[in-house]
Structure 1
Amino acid sequence: MTYSPPPAEELRLIDAELWQLDARRAHLLARRTWLVTVLRQAAAPAQAPAPAIPASGFAPARAEAAVPRVQNVLLVLGGVLLTVAAIAFTLVSWGHLGIAGRALVLGGVTAAVLAAPVPLLARGLRSTGEAVAGLGLALTVLDAYALHEVAFAGADSTGFAAGAAAVLAAGWAAYGTLPRVRELRLPLPAALAAGQLPLLLWAVAAGAGPSVIAGALLVTAAGDTAVALRWAVPAVRVTATAGAFGAGGCGALAAGWLSWSASGPGAAARAALLLLLAAGIAVAAGLRSRAEEHTTGLSVAAGLLAVGALGGLARSVLPAMWTVPAYLVCGVALPAVVRRAALPRALRRGAVLASVAVQGLALVTVVPLVGIALLGPASWVARIWSGAPDGARAAVATEEVWPPYAGTAPLVTAVVAAVLALTVRDGALRARARLTALTAAWATVLVLPPVLDMPYAAGLMVLGVLTAGTLAVAARARGGDLAVTALVLASVTSVAVGFEALAARAATPSVLAVLAVLFAAASTRARLSPVTAPAALVHATALACAAGAAAGWAPQHIALPVLAVPAVAALVAPRTGGAARVPVEVAGGAAGLLAVALAVPAPPMLALVLALCGAITAGAALRPDRRALGHASAALFVLASWVRLAAWEVTAPEAYTLPAALPALVVGVLRRRRDVRASSWAAYGPGLVVALLPSLAAAWTDAHWQRPLLLGAAALLVTLLGARHRLKAPLVLGGAVLALDALHELAPYLVQVTDALPRWVPPALAGLLLLVVGATYERRLRDVRRVREVLGGMD
């Protein structure tokens, strides 16, 4: 029977068909215009004249887009709209057709659309053929969906999708290899894209486990790799490469997770087979690749996958603590195995890089343990001399902090150190390998005492030997980088062993003494002295503090042996190299500050410490390049005298100011003799200010007559000396102090006179004074100018 759609539906179909015809006509007209233009350009002479401008004076408008580009956009839009229309037809109008009608529509439309590109390609309409072919491929997907809804509605959707994907991939591949259709670029990449799904969907539909799903992904990746290596068409190769990386990467990750989480040898073996399959795919691709960098990258991936497979097998039968060594051994053996297989250079280089990556990851697992061994002893600062721990492990960490699988850490670092030291022969890489090997060997010795839980004293001895060994390496190293690395390791180790020695009272001075001697001995090498010499002084300072505390001395008494360090620094600094001189002086100065801080609770001892610091600084100031320290030495002596006076409870300001003022005046005299251009303010001003002003302030509050009298006499003497030698600073300061001191002495009498005079006398005197000043204003102004000129002519 013939099916007639409802009028509304038939009207919609007719409108859609007319719209398609209009679009097709517009496309053909545009194509015709472009072909006519191409033919005219080909027939024109090589040197055609410029196109004439019409009489209107306006040139024809330039097209904003090329004709082929516009054509491609229109074709893509047309194909998308037709695909949408087909989907709408399948979803909306499918139920109105019978079985025969459905089959006729599906088969006829799909076959017609798939056959249309052949005549279009014959006429040179390649872009149109691509668009129509894309529409045909989309229709085949709709055909598969319609077939499922009609004939296989009760079947499993995932299983049907797997079969449909396989059929579509095969059909599209066959369609793309037809003699005329093979010119199209879309069918074969689409077939490859569809080919990614069948195995994966079949595995999911069958309820397979993770191993089977990972295997399906890897087999799919193997097929993609084969296509990418054998097919020359760029679009097919790009699609196959993307599929190989996508499916292969997912499969390799899944296999790696299965290997890591395997609960027994059987599961580990299945995961290992998958990882080896992935490695084989990578090796096969690397062997056929033409770019050396691609081959190297694939070889690195293959090496890591092989290590993961074999290491996972070993991990499944070994205790948990041997997991990292198992993978490490596989990584170390990888380059040797590849070298014997006589593979290309790029593959061998990739295997070496994979081995380096495995060794680097193995070293990363030891970093937490190294951090515990270095930072853990610092906790003894809060519980100093609380008693020696039971063993070296308790000296660096508690049982809660100690890693559970730390037993094989020294083996890991030792293996890496040996491999790097013995196998790297390349000159450019050998220097870096030696640095890493040294660091790995140092880490091995560092973590060995706590890992083996040696006795506390034995652990300290091992760390002391490690410090001496790294210093010896630094002393004998020829390369600068190796020496710097060894120095850093030695310094870090010395800090750790110093903190660890704080656990026992007897161990602290002994360890610090050994460290001071070791760094002092290393300072005989000039290139090491900028680091080792100040480090020796730091350890010596700590030794002085520890020895004094162990003897039961008070902090102010400990300050005296600490002062030996800046004294030694002052003696040693001139004999060291230029680069070590400043670090030695800084270390000595820091020790001096520590001594002062220790002596603060006892003022008499503080005065002694300041005086000794002044003497040490004065000795250093005798050097021509340290003359500026003389000022610091004078300041320290003055501070020492002030602290001593304060300890004696002396309150007279002259006792504090005169010891500082007299040396300042002496220095001013010497300066004026050397430099006659120096002003009196710079030479004598500081000393006079310190000598006179505090006494003047005290005189104003002093009820007795002795201080004002002596201060006035001193100010008068200073004023006369300033006038005699034409010095501005003594004249001005002495005269000002003398006037203020006299005013202070006359103040009581002025008050008495003021009280005795009638109330009208002070205003009258003030008025009279103003009249006199006003009448003689010009003369007084000349006097002021004359005084200013006199003062200006003085020094």
Structure 2
Amino acid sequence: MACGVTRATLPAMTYFPPPAEELRFLDAELRQLDARRAQLLARRAWLVTALQSAAHGPEPAFAPRPEASAPRVQNVLLLLGGVLLTIAATAFTLVSWGHLGIAGRAAVLGTVTLATLVAPLPLLHRGLRSTAEAVAGLGLALTVLDAYALHEAALTSTDGTAYAAVATTALAALWAAYGTTLGTLRLPRPAALVAAQLPLPLGAIAADAGAYGSTAALLVTAAADAAVALLTTAPTLRSVRIAATIGAYGLGGWGVLAATWLSWTAPGPSAAARAAALLTFASAITLTAAWRIPTPPLAGPTDAPTEADPVRATADSAIPGTTPPGFHARTPAPAIPMFRPASLVTANALLAGLLLLAAVGGVLRVTVPDGWAMVGELLCAIGLLAGIRGRMPERVRFGLGWAGVGVQAFALLWALPLAAVVVLGPFGLPAHPWSGAPVDARAAVTAGTPWPPDAGPGLVVFMVAAAALALLVREPVWRPRALTGSAVLVWAAVLAVPATLQLPYTVDLLVTGLLTAAALLAPLRPPTGVLLALVTSGDLALLALADRTATLTVLSALTVLFAVASARPRLAPVTAPAALVYATALACATGAAAGWQPQYTALLVLAVPAAATLLAPRFDRQARLGTEVTGAAAGLVSLALAVTDAPLLAVVLALLGVIAAATAVRPDRRPLGLVAAALFVLAAWVRLAAWDVGTPEAYTLPVTVPALLVGAWRRHRDPSARSWTAYGPGLAATLVPSLVAVWHDEGRPRPLLLGGAALAVTLLGARHRLRAPLVLGGSVLVLDALHELAPYLVQVADALPRWVPPALAGLLLLAVGATYEQRIRDMRRVREVLGRMN
């Protein structure tokens, strides 16, 4: 082809493969060439390495790795050198200072300090920056020693604290100027900022400014640090920004703690106002910092809050008609080396809001009566939520909103004891039932608990918080939940009103009953309403125990109320069992009011499981199960009431068996037929016991006969059913107790009758080839025969010589051993045969 010859001009015997096949062939050849080339190159590299090793001698197994980098070693050496020189200078100043005169001291101080501070200039010019940093640090330390030496030499009469305040001011200015002059050094300016933390606190102590003045000095210094941290944006001043941030949070934290303590312990309005001014100033600093901290842009706008952003839903909706730009709460903000800006903004805003509310609370604590300060604090928190509007950054609004919500939650916790007493107080009434109507509602709920001292303010807290939730939250996502929370708070407030106002006992019952009905009918998010109704109805039933008429009236009303509410499928799983519970209590109360003995009241209680059996099929699966379980529990109550009277207990068991049998008629409740049978048997046994019947067959035959009939019916329906399942329980129910009675009975009729019955069962089992009758009947027959022959066997055993039992045991062991040996020999022969075959 390369010579211009076409395929048509070649002889007919020449073969040219198709292009695809020829391409595959060429690719295979090239791959082989590449593989061979790689092998040769690897061999060549190994040979070169071997020759180099022979020329230079053997290399060590591994080269030791340095444990520290060269710059790190350099920094450590420079740091140690600077520390040692500083120690030497300190020792000289403290020990050798007194041996020099005034001129010598001045010459030494001036020369050494000036030389040390100037030395970094040529070092920086030569590029030795780390060494220059170390020398500059030594120079800064020398200036501190110079200030100390000056005080000890010439200014000993001045106040040490005041001198320290002036000296730190001068040192801060000197170091800042020095650092600005030598701009490439990183140590002097942060050191100047650290020194600047001391003048104001030391000056306040020197001026005897007291706790308020010292706290103000701390907060002013923290404000200056915050300003430096926020205004210092140059990358080269990162160390200054870090030092300022640490100073702002450190001194600001101490200042906030001191101001909070002053507010908490303020004895009067004047002291509280001064502490509030300090807290307000701290709040302003924190809020300004939150406002000024730069944050990255949010991921994207949205008009609705997310599930993780409940505070925004409250804060943003505080102003009807205004919806600020939203954000995705789960969007992570980019991080800088020290913190996440968005989280820091939110934390500062939260702290600012809490400090502002704490300032107001401190003033309210000493100006309004006890307890009402919390109401004022709650109103301020609600006002804060309503006031976060305008062009405020969203993260700031988010933090302030959380501050308002946190104070509201604290107020509710403060008022919680009132709700706890109202809800749990009636549990002390069952100890003294029907002891007479209390004088008022408060006496009814404080039967076993003390009344909280701040009940009035607590009631107002519930009402105000409920109104805030209902009015302020407007976001579609959170409004249903807010309305539910508001309804719960209203419920707690209404429940506490009668006791708080000491209304009459009957008014308390009426209010609690109406509240129960309202909770059932209220369109609250499930299952809030029905749970509130259950709690309220329980309190109502306990409150009614103080009076007999009130008990019967309330239990009747509750039974009817929950029964009617069960017509609503949404409520039936809870209200239907509740209706049965109150019906059971009503039956017990009716029997007690009529003077009946408990066993007769049990017959009245049986109406509850009967009603449950009739009503359960009308409900869905969940409500049906709860109804049946409650009916069964009522049945147990009736048994407990009748347990002291055996004849009536037998009647109750029989009636419960009838109820269980009626339930078992339904296809989905067939297993209850076994329960019904067990109840009937128990009823028969209790009746026999009441008649003092001691013959065991009287108890077992009523079980055996129906059990055998059921077994025969099952075998007829399912011929594959095993005899142990069909006939075993029925036969064992009579044969085993009778056999036990035979061994404890000295009479003759029972062994003969039992033997005859066992023989008949054995023959029937053999006739029909059934294992259960054959084994049970034969076993009982043998044991019965042994019982009859036992005296003779004892006589024979007494007549035998003493050596016979050991001899028989030895013969048995020999027989077993011989059989075992024979089996081993047979196995060995089989193994030999198999070996020869292989």
Query: Would the aligned equivalents of 1:298 and 1:350 in 2 still touch at CA under 8 Å?
Result: yes
| Aligned residue-pair number | 704
Structure 2 residue 652 is the aligned partner of structure 1 residue 652: no
Structure 2 residue 733 is the aligned partner of structure 1 residue 684: no
Aligned-partner Cα distance in 2 for 1:61–1:738: 92
1:587-623 deviations in whole A, cap 9, x for unaligned? 2222212221221111112111111111111111111
Aligned-partner Cα distance in 2 for 1:103–1:432: 77
Gap change, CA 1:614 and 1:165, over 3 Å in 2: same
Q: Which residue of structure 2 aligns with residue 348 of structure 1?
A: 397
Aligned-partner Cα distance in 1 for 2:580–2:179: 83
- Counting only pairs closer than 5 Å after superposition, residues 693-708 of structure 1 correspond to structure 2 as 693-708=736-751
- Counting only pairs closer than 5 Å after superposition, residues 455-604 of structure 1 correspond to structure 2 as 455-473=504-522, 476-477=523-524, 482-604=525-647
Structure 2 residue 176 is the aligned partner of structure 1 residue 127: no
| 403-412 vs 385-394, which moves further | 385-394
- Superposed displacement of residue 691, structure 1: 2.0
Q: Which residue of structure 2 aligns with residue 781 of structure 1?
A: none
Quick one: which of 401, 410, 413 aligns to 2:459? 410
| 129-138 vs 725-734, which moves further | 725-734
Q: Which residue of structure 2 aligns with residue 280 of structure 1?
A: 284
Structure 2 residue 486 is the aligned partner of structure 1 residue 437: yes
| 159-168 vs 342-351, which moves further | 342-351
Query: Would the aligned equivalents of 1:176 and 1:182 in 2 still touch at CA under 8 Å?
Result: yes
Quick one: which of 335, 342, 358 aligns to 1:308? 358
Structure 1 unaligned residues grouped into runs of 5+ = 1-49, 775-795
- Superposed displacement of residue 111, structure 1: 1.7
Q: Which residue of structure 1 aligns with residue 41 of structure 2?
A: none
Q: Which residue of structure 1 aligns with residue 716 of structure 2?
A: 673
Quick one: which of 132, 141, 162 aligns to 1:159? 162
Q: Which residue of structure 1 aligns with residue 207 of structure 2?
A: 206
Gap change, CA 1:583 and 1:152, over 3 Å in 2: farther
- Counting only pairs closer than 5 Å after superposition, residues 45-60 of structure 1 correspond to structure 2 as 55-56=56-57, 58=59
Structure 2 residue 117 is the aligned partner of structure 1 residue 114: yes
Q: Aligned to 2:458, what secondary structure does the other structure show?
A: helix
Query: Would the aligned equivalents of 2:426 and 2:447 in 1 still touch at CA under 8 Å?
Result: no
- Counting only pairs closer than 5 Å after superposition, residues 238-249 of structure 1 correspond to structure 2 as 238-249=242-253
1:568-594 deviations in whole A, cap 9, x for unaligned? 222222221122222222222222122
- Counting only pairs closer than 5 Å after superposition, residues 211-230 of structure 1 correspond to structure 2 as 211-230=212-231
Q: Aligned to 2:478, what secondary structure does the other structure show?
A: helix
Q: Aligned to 1:428, what secondary structure does the other structure show?
A: coil
Q: Which residue of structure 2 aligns with residue 383 of structure 1?
A: 432
Structure 2 unaligned residues grouped into runs of 5+ = 1-48, 296-341, 816-838
Amino acid at match of 1:127: S
Q: Which residue of structure 1 aligns with residue 273 of structure 2?
A: 269
- Superposed displacement of residue 152, structure 1: 3.0
Aligned-partner Cα distance in 1 for 2:696–2:59: 103
Aligned-partner Cα distance in 2 for 1:469–1:357: 30
Gap change, CA 1:658 and 1:265, over 3 Å in 2: same
Q: Which residue of structure 1 aligns with residue 774 of structure 2?
A: 731
Quick one: which of 679, 692, 703 aligns to 1:636? 679
Gap change, CA 1:625 and 1:208, over 3 Å in 2: same
Aligned-partner Cα distance in 2 for 1:126–1:175: 16
Aligned-partner Cα distance in 2 for 1:677–1:415: 74
Aligned-partner Cα distance in 2 for 1:523–1:199: 73
- Counting only pairs closer than 5 Å after superposition, residues 24-103 of structure 1 correspond to structure 2 as 55-56=56-57, 58=59, 63-103=66-106
Amino acid at match of 1:313: V
- Superposed displacement of residue 637, structure 1: 0.8
Gap change, CA 1:626 and 1:198, over 3 Å in 2: same
Q: Aligned to 2:432, what secondary structure does the other structure show?
A: coil
- Superposed displacement of residue 171, structure 1: 1.8
Q: Which residue of structure 2 aligns with residue 298 of structure 1?
A: 348
Q: Which residue of structure 2 aligns with residue 3 of structure 1?
A: none
Gap change, CA 1:549 and 1:147, over 3 Å in 2: farther
Q: Aligned to 1:304, what secondary structure does the other structure show?
A: helix
Aligned-partner Cα distance in 1 for 2:194–2:377: 37
Query: Would the aligned equivalents of 1:315 and 1:326 in 2 still touch at CA under 8 Å?
Result: no
Aligned-partner Cα distance in 2 for 1:398–1:211: 49
Aligned-partner Cα distance in 2 for 1:400–1:743: 71
Query: Would the aligned equivalents of 1:321 and 1:405 in 2 still touch at CA under 8 Å?
Result: yes
Query: Would the aligned equivalents of 2:425 and 2:448 in 1 still touch at CA under 8 Å?
Result: no
Aligned-partner Cα distance in 2 for 1:751–1:97: 127
Structure 2 residue 235 is the aligned partner of structure 1 residue 186: no
- Superposed displacement of residue 738, structure 1: 4.3
Q: Aligned to 2:56, what secondary structure does the other structure show?
A: coil
Gap change, CA 1:117 and 1:669, over 3 Å in 2: same
Aligned-partner Cα distance in 2 for 1:75–1:342: 52
- Superposed displacement of residue 709, structure 1: 4.3
Q: Aligned to 2:444, what secondary structure does the other structure show?
A: helix
- Superposed displacement of residue 399, structure 1: 10
Aligned-partner Cα distance in 1 for 2:472–2:684: 68
Q: How large is the Cα RMSD of the aligned pairs?
A: 3.0
Query: Would the aligned equivalents of 2:219 and 2:251 in 1 still touch at CA under 8 Å?
Result: yes
Q: Which residue of structure 2 aligns with residue 361 of structure 1?
A: 410
Gap change, CA 1:194 and 1:500, over 3 Å in 2: farther
1:329-368 deviations in whole A, cap 9, x for unaligned? 11111233342x6534443333322221221111111122
1:187-206 deviations in whole A, cap 9, x for unaligned? 11111111112111222222
Query: Would the aligned equivalents of 2:197 and 2:247 in 1 still touch at CA under 8 Å?
Result: yes
Q: Which residue of structure 2 aligns with residue 626 of structure 1?
A: 669
Amino acid at match of 1:137: L
Q: 4+ runs of 1 displaced by more than 6 Å?
A: 751-755, 757-760
Aligned-partner Cα distance in 1 for 2:513–2:275: 47
Q: Which residue of structure 1 aligns with residue 174 of structure 2?
A: 171
Aligned-partner Cα distance in 1 for 2:785–2:591: 57
Gap change, CA 1:413 and 1:624, over 3 Å in 2: same
1:431-452 deviations in whole A, cap 9, x for unaligned? 4323332322222223222222
Amino acid at match of 1:220: T
Query: Would the aligned equivalents of 2:428 and 2:448 in 1 still touch at CA under 8 Å?
Result: no
Query: Would the aligned equivalents of 1:116 and 1:129 in 2 still touch at CA under 8 Å?
Result: yes
1:511-535 deviations in whole A, cap 9, x for unaligned? 2333333332332232332222222
| 321-330 vs 715-724, which moves further | 715-724
- Superposed displacement of residue 759, structure 1: 9.4
Structure 2 residue 423 is the aligned partner of structure 1 residue 374: yes
TM-score, length-normalised on structure 1?
A: 0.83
1:160-196 deviations in whole A, cap 9, x for unaligned? 2222222222222222222xx1221111111111111
Gap change, CA 1:631 and 1:229, over 3 Å in 2: same
Query: Would the aligned equivalents of 2:441 and 2:498 in 1 still touch at CA under 8 Å?
Result: yes
| 192-201 vs 635-644, which moves further | 192-201
- Superposed displacement of residue 119, structure 1: 1.9
TM-score, length-normalised on structure 2?
A: 0.79
Amino acid at match of 2:209: A
Q: Which residue of structure 2 aligns with residue 258 of structure 1?
A: 262
Gap change, CA 1:293 and 1:343, over 3 Å in 2: same
Aligned-partner Cα distance in 2 for 1:733–1:58: 90
Aligned-partner Cα distance in 2 for 1:344–1:274: 25
Amino acid at match of 1:329: L
Q: Aligned to 2:568, what secondary structure does the other structure show?
A: coil
- Superposed displacement of residue 665, structure 1: 0.9
Q: Which residue of structure 2 aligns with residue 144 of structure 1?
A: 147
Gap change, CA 1:675 and 1:81, over 3 Å in 2: same
